[in-house]
Amino acid sequence: MRIKDILSPESMIMELKATNKEDAIKEMADLEVKTGIVNNEDEFIKSIWAREKESTTGIGGGIAMPHARNEYINKARVLFAKSKEGIDYDSLDGQPVHLFFMITAPAGADNTHLQALAKLSGLLVNPDLVEKLKQATTPDEVIKFFTDAEAAKDAQDKADEEKRKAAAAKKAASENKDDEKPLIVGVTACINGIAHTYMAEQALIDAGKKRGIEVRIETNGSEGVKHQLTPDEIKRAKGVIIASDKKVDMPRFDGKELTNHPVVDGINKPDELIDTIMNNKADIYHASAADKEESSANTSGGGVWHSIYQNLMNGISHMLPFVIGGGILMAISFIVENYAGGAKSPAFIFLNSAGNLAFAFMVPILAAYIAESIGDLPALMPGLVGGYMAAIVNGTNGLTVNVQAHATSPAGFLGGIAAGFIAGYMMVGLKKLFAKLPKSVEGMKPMLLYPILGLLFIALIMYFIINPIFSTINMLVTHFLNGMGTANLAVLTTILAGMMAIDMGGPFNKAAYVFASGAFANDPSSATAQVMMAAVMVGGMVPPFATAIGTAFFKNKFNAEERRAGVSNWILGFSFITEGAIPFAAGDPGHVIPSCVIGSAVGGLLVGLWHIQVPAPHGGLWVSPLANHILLYFLATIIGSIVAGVILSLWKKPVNEK
């Protein structure tokens, strides 16, 4: 597939009307919907902003590449847009953006589409092409410039490949390595793997060519690992450049000079990264367990605690479908029980059983994917078994098993987290222990040694240490929560609800939700756990409702695009989708976030004072029939939303729209 196949005159805006980042994204998204590329504008915009929250796609040099790949996209396409005056896009170099490339790929995009997107991204490091695009006046010119650049690059790649083969043949014939060019190897990868991965690859290769240095880059993008580095290339390389925003396979670089950076540095600072290697300024990488974890964390600028957070979030992200799917089915079963047939109803029995089965996998899946994040695939099975042992007591957790746990109650959610980290680091230790075994027994490690020893050690640790300790802790926490008075409980619900609005889907939001859902998972019948679930849902519903209220009743404080977005937030708020408020928070964090935190905290306070219980981990107001006080559940949400909406709207200055 050629680049012209993903460019189209109908998907081009030769002069954007927008003057700020939010309006630019909205204007481009409007055209994506109009041309049939996107089927749900609100969800698509949310995914674009979610990517911007990770790191700006304004890569510098006057270019921005907002991109998404999900089920709300019908077709792979690149929307091209220009702004003559330039738009402040929070770019990495602080300069305004003139050229926009909104890259879209459906969730099931095939490799041919992804390869074309990757090639287009790589071309944008060519300054001549960028300058021509800035001067283009028609869509046909844009397509022609890309087509010509693609043909030139294909010809150059073909010539380079022939030179490489000739050099390899010469080397094989003479075995004289004195004439070889210096070789630097590297890996580029970004979260979405659509654009930045390939731009960094091309920038590093081009920088190497200018200086007579051979650069070989392995890309870890949407279509998987490409140009995988061989052991011979790594051995021959002078050093390694990692330009990645996600975890890559690091131990193979043991003993090499290595410099580790975010992917945008590969795009914007290729000469600097190459200099680091060529001037021997890079540290020698040693593949210890700690270095392995720290390396992935350092790409995001975090450190050890950031690494722990990433591993925990890997487990939680895999666990949440079980919590939400199982919880909602259980919630529906309770509605059936209360209003349509009772506890003997076949519909109740079926829905409740299905929900309970999903819930039974929650802690094992959490532990398994924490372990997998730390120790890779060999740690998955020990993590799963450790999490399963944390969830059972006397052989029961919703699944049939003949195990007698060495504890009086399940270690539960906390024990599952401990099991995941223990299994992960245990597997890292086993890998180090067996690293020097003869190559003749290499195949035994993944097929025999890791499974047997991993299972044996995690079973011993869980049975004799973790389960007894954490089951006791779990009982103490449960008794403490259940024994909290109304005043103390109100303080807790106020804090939890307020945290839901701090970053609207980020670490604070997830920490509050995980705390409440963990207590609920340990004991779904606990009144206190049900109050905490009600509090986090109210806290999560307030931000979208607050922005909807503001845009509806204080129209002069919001621009036209914000007023349109506010309409959809009524539904998002009702459904407990906090992320509907992210575009507002991103555009005006100083006013939106404090207002929403106050409103959410007020809602949480009312939930605690009124002792509102909701026996479901998700669903917002859709699961209100399950609440013990339906009207009070609505009232707490309404009051918190009005407080936030009024504070926000009175605080903001009127918008002057021309």
Pairing of strands 77-87, 67-70: unpaired
In this prediction, residue 322 carries a pLDDT of 80
Q: Strand, helix or coil at 84? A: strand
Active site residues per annotation: 67, 190
DSSP 337: H
Structural contact between residues 57 and 67, judged by C-beta atoms closer than 8 angstroms: yes
In this prediction, residue 546 carries a pLDDT of 94
Structural contact between residues 461 and 425, judged by C-beta atoms closer than 8 angstroms: no
Residues 299-324: pLDDT tens digits? 334 456 667 766 877 787 787 678 66
Question: CATH code for 3-108+124-150?
Answer: 3.40.930.10
Given a cut of 50, is residue 176 above it in pLDDT? no
**The CATH number fitting domain 181-298, selected from 3.40.190.80, 3.40.50.2300, 3.30.70.141, 3.40.50.1580:** 3.40.50.2300
* Identity of residue 594: P
Given a cut of 90, is residue 536 above it in pLDDT? yes
pTM: 0.47
Looking up tokens 């193979």 gives: 252
Cα torsion through 605, 645, 648, 561, rounded to 10: 140
As to burial, measured by CB atoms within 10 angstroms (0-12 exposed, 13-18 middle, 19+ buried), residue 646 is: middle
Share of the chain above pLDDT 70, in %: 83
d(CA 258, CA 292): 13
Residues 29-65: pLDDT tens digits? 999 999 999 999 998 999 899 888 877 888 888 899 8
Q: In this structure, what token pair is assigned to residue 108?
A: 């099931």
Residues 437-490: pLDDT tens digits? 776 676 678 888 899 999 999 999 998 898 888 877 766 765 665 565 566 888
Given a cut of 70, is residue 114 above it in pLDDT? no
For residue 503, give the H/E element and its range.
none
d(CA 484, CA 67): 47
The DSSP string of 183-207 is: EEEEEEE-SS-SSHHHHHHHHHHHH
Q: In this structure, what token pair is assigned to residue 547?
A: 């922005």
d(CA 156, CA 168): 18
| Ranges of each domain in the chain | 3-108+124-150, 181-298, 304-473, 486-651
Residues 6+ apart with CB under 8 A from 363: 319, 387, 388, 390, 391, 412, 413, 415, 416, 521
Residues 6+ apart with CB under 8 A from 215: 183, 184, 185, 186, 204, 205, 207, 208, 209, 274
